[in-house]
Amino acid sequence: MSLQDLANISSADAAPINKDVARNLQTGYLSGQKLGGFHGTINKVQDAREYVGVGWRKGADKALGFISDIYATCSIPEPKNVRRQQVWAEDGDDLDYDKLMSGELETMWRTTKRNGKATNPHATLVINWGGNCNLKADSLFWSGAVAIILADVLENAGYRIELVGCITSKHDAGYSATSVTVKELDEPVRTDVLAGTLCEAGVFRSLGFMAMTASNIEMDSGLGYNNAGGFKRANIANMEESPFSEDVFVIDQCLTLDDAKKEIERVCNSLDETNG
């Protein structure tokens, strides 16, 4: 699902098996009525649509306020220099006769070799979007904050990042998975849009709820139970074969700043090992 799809979601997008649930959501959450604290800073569904389409600057600034702390505590990986450099090898472009006569056969040819990858390395981050109803809106902020911080610091370090928000839920009929691509590899980082879509509980608990009903898994009015283990299993299975990315990182659900720091450190360390 694209951001535009999410911003325009309605009960008409529901799977036939979930039409009744979608109509109830349309009446309860998407009818324009004022929403409560369960939805964070969202007062009505139009606010949610604007957060996805235009962004949430205040939320982005809150997340980016921790950037200096992240640089102080995490090792941000740097891509290798990709310029060609001259090296000696056992075959190549120019023969050194002095090395040949002295028996240095493994290093008698001069050639050039690219140090690192020909293009900037890139990675996909799959973010645990939203969460169960017992979680406070402030707690749901942090998984999105991880996406904002990693996208900002890694792209500034030379990486290209793709971001996908995903929620998996357990139902009597099985697991459902709903995802939205928040940033394509070739798109610039819009931290305000990332914040509006992934950090604000009210977006997930209105537009995200409706998006879940597009699944062909039959749902009840509670929309199932978000299972962290199911999220990780579903996304690892689905995303590791992605043709769009060399590295896929499934981000654990983060409910505090400390959770966010641990995940950022884990991803940075893994990237450093991959591209080091």
Residue boundaries of the structural domains of the chain: 3-76+119-275, 84-114
Please tell me the predicted confidence (pLDDT) of residue 80: 47
pLDDT at residue 154 above 60? Answer: yes
Tokens 């699944």, located at residue? 215
pLDDT at residue 4 above 50? Answer: yes
SS (H, E, C) the chain: CEHHHHHCCCHHHCCHHHHHHHHHHHHHCCCCCCCCHHHCCCCCHHHHHHHHHCCCHHHHHHHHCCHHHHHHHCCCCCCCCCCEEEEEECCCCEECHHHHHCCCHHHCEEEEEECCCCCCCEEEEEEECCCCCCCCHHHHHHHHHHHHHHHHHHHHCCCEEEEEEEEEEEECCEEEEEEEEEECCCCCCCHHHHHHHHHCHHHHHHHHHHHHCCCCCCCCCCCCEECHHHHHHHHHHHHCCCCCCCEEEEECCCCCHHHHHHHHHHHHHHHHHHHC
Please tell me the predicted confidence (pLDDT) of residue 51: 92
pLDDT at residue 193 above 90? Answer: yes
Confidence of residue 58 (pLDDT cuts 50, 70, 90): very high
Please tell me the predicted confidence (pLDDT) of residue 68: 78
| Other C-beta atoms lying within 10 Å of the C-beta of residue 200 | 26
Higher pLDDT pick, 268 / 93: 268
Highest-confidence segment of 51-65, 75-89, 94-108: 51-65
